[in-house]
Amino acid sequence: MKTKQIVFVLLRIVPAIILLQTLYFKFSAAPESVFIFETLGLEPYGRIGLGVVELITAMLLLVPRTTWIGALLGMGIMAGALFSHITTLGVVVQDDGGTLFIMALITFLCCLALAWTQRDQIPLFKR
């Protein structure tokens, strides 16, 4: 496998794993997730709905043909998460040391890189 291929696979797997591992907390109504979505005024529908969208996004990221769709969705979701952290929640949520913020930032940057590398697949940018 060439370096470029390895990077492409990692850029797909890292955000997918981050998105998938947070689903347990969203769907099980973990106290931290409930706190976040109550603070945002979106509990419980926002928590569950976003969990479903994140599951779909992770699946799209893992399929090479639909990676660009997952990347755009991931960028949108994580832009919202980052905005919420900066404006409402704070970088550190319930003494997590900024872990959620950092994971959102990593996911956003991976999705941004994927969208850039897959820009020829995006109908709006096709030549």
Q: Is 93 left (phi over 0), alpha (psi -120 to 50) or beta?
A: beta
Q: What is the pLDDT along the chain (127 residues), one digit of tens a residue?
A: 799 999 999 999 999 999 999 999 999 999 999 999 999 999 999 999 999 999 999 999 999 999 999 999 999 999 999 999 999 999 999 999 999 999 999 999 999 999 999 999 988 877 6
pLDDT, residue 127, reads 66
Kindly tell me the burial class for residue 107, based on how many C-beta atoms sit within 10 Å of its own C-beta (0-12, 13-18, 19 or more): buried
- DSSP states of 45-84 as a string? HHHHHHHHHHHHHHHHHHSGGGHHHHHHHHHHHHHHHHHH
Burial level of 36, CB count in 10 A (0-12/13-18/19+)? Answer: buried
Q: What is the pTM of this model?
A: 0.94
CA atoms within 13 A on the CB side of 101: 16
| Dihedral angle over CA of 11, 12, 18, 20, nearest 10 | 180
Tracing tokens 């907390």 back to the chain, one arrives at 25
